[in-house]
Amino acid sequence: MERHYGWVIVAVGALMGCVGMGSLFSLAVFLGPVATDTGWSRAGISASMTIAFLAMGFGGFGWGWVSDRYGPRIVGIAGGLLLGAGLVLASRATSLLTFQLAYGLFLGTAVGAFFAPMMATASAWFDRQRALAVSLVSAGLGTAPVTVAPFAQWLLSNHHWRSSQLLMGIIAWTVLLPAALLLRRPPVTALHPGADAAATGQDFTARQALGSRQFVVLAATFFACCLAHAGPIFHVVSYAMVCGLSAAAAVSVYGLQGLAGLGGRLLLGVLADRHGAKPVLIGGLLLQALAIGAFLPTSSLGEFYAVAAVFGLAYGGVMPLYAVLARDYFGPRVLGTVFGAATMVSCLGMAAGPAVGGWIFDRFGSYAGMHLSSLAIGFGAVAIALAFPPLPRMRPERLRPA
């Protein structure tokens, strides 16, 4: 019965990720109405996302530590409270700075509680089918564009943007707080039944793990991966329109990319359970880099669909594998802290990618430079991933220092 409860943890983690990330990215839906109603610049409103990514990264590190020490339930409750509060406060904001702090800081910190800690918790509940379980939690993020975003658009079609965000905040509290009560630590037998604790690395301390070569490679690969795909993801609609596609067609490309990411999470999760997370991650990163490069000669709608499908499958599929590798290297006891720290580093890449892509377009009048630089960084991520040391079956004092 305890082992079956792990799938409840997976379902709760997926739900929290969907509501949290969907609420955060619904800013794209609110952008126009907010700018029209308040007179705030679109760049200023969009800066809320940069703040959110930074808050998500640093928050994920802190929430991971809290989860390791006090369990995931308090993290889920705190994240639910913050998410609802951020939406409610943003709906009442009378200045751009207040909106940026409410939407960016509160929602970003809340999503940080739903990403790394929930994936780490799900990973700790499973010995077999671990990659699939983590991928299903991550899939909750992939469903956000086709669930929360349309819901936000429906609210806007019937209500003012302030009323819509207020309602979303109340609904977030209603959904997330009861769900968080279902979270619990994994039983001791679920951590690694029948295995020696020292052999699996369960006695690693956070300081030893964060100072190891294994962590440096993990974090550097995660950072380069996110820096490579963040710009092409964020600017794909604008790039498609520059290439001559209509706004509706460009948005459909973005939607297909998100759906492919959902499928990629499941496909690569199953493959990782069968063949190991490291080789599947390397293959996914290589596919991601090639897909980024394939955007350069793309011009027709059919070509955009084909490239977006491959790109979405690749970048969506590799994301859960970092949690699996962190679990394999460092064991479950400090997993929240370790994966939270790696996520914090990756969010720096996510925050920088869109800004750099926009600067390149403003400077040169083309997205070619963004795709070329992202292609190079994507290959760099593959090269870093190849430096992953063999999975440790050793005591922590034998970890190699960075």
DSSP per residue over 144-205, as a string? HHHHHHHHHHHHHHHS-HHHHHHHHHHHHHHHHHHHHTT--PPPHHHHSTTS-HHHHTTT--
Q: Which domains does the chain have, with CATH numbers?
A: 1-185 (1.20.1250.20), 198-402 (1.20.1250.20)
pLDDT tens-place string over residues 192-206: 444 433 444 446 788
Among 96-100, 208-212, 391-395, where is mean pLDDT lowest?
Answer: 391-395
Query: Do 340 and 63 form a contact (C-beta atoms < 8 A)?
Result: yes
Residue 168, CA distances (Å) to 22, 145, 197, 214, 288 in order: 11, 15, 44, 41, 34
Question: Tell me: the pLDDT tens digits for 42-57?
Answer: 778 878 888 888 898 8
User: What's the CA gap between 365 and 252, in Å, rounded?
Assistant: 24
- Per residue in 233-257, pLDDT (tens digit) is 878 888 888 899 987 788 788 888 8
C-alpha torsion sign, points 262, 255, 351, 388: positive
CA dist 281 → 14, 99, 206, 285, 370 (Å): 21, 38, 24, 6, 23
pTM of the full structure: 0.78
Of the two residues 317 and 332, the one the predictor is more confident about is: 317
Q: Produce one character per residue of 142-161: b if its CB has 16 or more CB atoms within 10 Å, e if not.
A: bbbbeebbebbeebbeeeeb
Q: Tell me, what's the pLDDT at 361?
A: 85
Q: Decide which of 332 and 314 is more confident.
A: 314
Greater model confidence, 397 or 336: 336
Instruction: Copy the structure tokens of residue 104.
Output: 């960016």
Residue 110's contacts (CB-CB under 8 Å, 6 or more residues apart) are 20, 59, 79, 80, 82, 83, 86
Query: What average pLDDT does this structure show over 257-278?
Result: 89
Residue with tokens 């974090």: 219
Distance CA 344, CA 340 (A): 6
- Measure the CA–CA gap between 339 and 165, rounded to whole angstroms: 31
